[in-house]
Amino acid sequence: MVHVEESLQLPRDFEGDFDPQWPNGARIAVSFILNYEEGGERNVLDGDPISEPYLWEKGASGGGREGRHVNGEQDFEYGSRAASWRLMRLFKHFGWQFTTYAVGVALQRNPTFARALVRDGHEIACHGVRWLDIWEYGLEEDKAYIAENIRMLHEVTGEMPVGAYFGRGTPNTRSLFPEVWKKMGGEFLWSSECYNDDVPYWIDLPWEKTLPESEREGMLMIPYNYDCNDGKFHMSPGFGSSVAETYEQYLKNTFDCLYREGGKMMNIPLHTRITGKPGRSEALRKFMQYISEKPGVWVTTRRDIAKHMRAKFPYKPEGKWMTPEVETKPE
């Protein structure tokens, strides 16, 4: 039975239309996200009844048979052993940083890659202890799970994460982030547990309503998406497992629309074992080259998007943050 803590439920909101006024007059902010899950997925050696059947090269045709499935395991291992480094070299070539949605156990099992992420300036964010659904966790289990993810990533990277996207949490998970981060002594800057906009926005936290306005902190949401997600190579409908050009063109179409509109953010979610394959990484490289030749493109991490929002549009209750701070020069 799923536990829904009523006091933690966030209301739905159907109104948007906000200009985040990106730094230096940029027309668009581009956020590449690397979902790093390899080694944290379901596996018989880790006590699971099956090897992971989801989001690997054979897709649905790979089956979900009971017991150990070595073929599926090794597609995940390709992601950590080879593809992760291919993507690192690609981003180093362009001089860009990405945000890593990091599964704690996965990074622990590849500490060399974890250190390289920090060395090259990529952001580390929480993506769960393992790449598993925690849908039926109780409230205290939920909090402990979040805290363990923070602890593991801090330990293996030496860097305290400031943001999170689980995608497989309970109805309460996203509301618990600020509380758990505070107890862990960290600073929580952003959550991406939302898919409902093309720009960041603040939300009011229901349990802060009784506090004076000056003590309310709200929560900054940086929306994520599935439509540009390379996972669609293994989903239906999707990009088509061997048709990287379809993926490349869809990314370009998305970019062109948002770039023309201006004041928007584009998400490009990646997985090492998917886009890190040679044929798909070439499609990604061509897309990166395409946007690198456009003026006014800010390729950045979610951490830096959050810093911009907090400086330009600090939280104010009830939507009052939508008016930017007026910069004044000293007399």
Q: Which stretches within 262-301 are classed as H helix?
A: 272-275, 278-292
Let me know: does 178 contact 205? Beta carbons within 8 Å.
yes
- In the predicted model, what is the mean pLDDT of the chain? 93
The model's pLDDT over 155-213, given as tens digits with 9 standing for 90+, comes to 999 999 999 999 999 999 999 999 999 999 999 999 999 999 999 999 999 899 999 99
Residue 239 to residue 18: CA distance in whole angstroms: 31
User: What pLDDT, in 10s, does the model give residues 203-213?
Assistant: 999 899 999 99
How far apart CA 42 and CA 12 sit, in angstroms, is 33
Give the per-residue pLDDT at 62. Answer: 61
The whole-number pLDDT of residue 266 equals 98
Residues forming beta bridges with residue 30, ordered by sequence position: 266, 299
Among 164, 60, 14, residue whose Cα is nearest residue 103: 164
Interior/surface letters 265-287, b for 16+ CB within 10 angstroms, e for the rest: bbbbbbbbbbbbbeebbebbeeb
Residues in the chain: 331
pLDDT given at position 330? 46
Beta strands in the chain (DSSP E): 28-36, 99-102, 123-126, 163-164, 190-191, 201-203, 219-221, 264-271, 297-299
User: pLDDT per residue over 54-113, tens digit each?
Assistant: 888 876 656 667 888 888 899 999 999 999 999 999 999 999 999 999 999 999 999 999
Percent of the chain with pLDDT over 70: 95
Q: Which residue spans within 172-310 are E strands per DSSP?
A: 190-191, 201-203, 219-221, 264-271, 297-299
| Alpha-carbon span 21 to 24, nearest angstrom | 9
Q: What confidence tier does 230 reach under pLDDT thresholds 50, 70, 90?
A: very high
What integer pLDDT is reported at residue 69 of this predicted model?
84
DSSP label at 79?
I
Rounded alpha-carbon distances, angstroms, from residue 241 to 18, 85, 222: 36, 21, 29
List the domain boundaries for the chain: 19-322
Lowest mean pLDDT among 14-18, 117-121, 154-158, 274-278: 14-18
CATH code of the domain occupying 19-322: 3.20.20.370
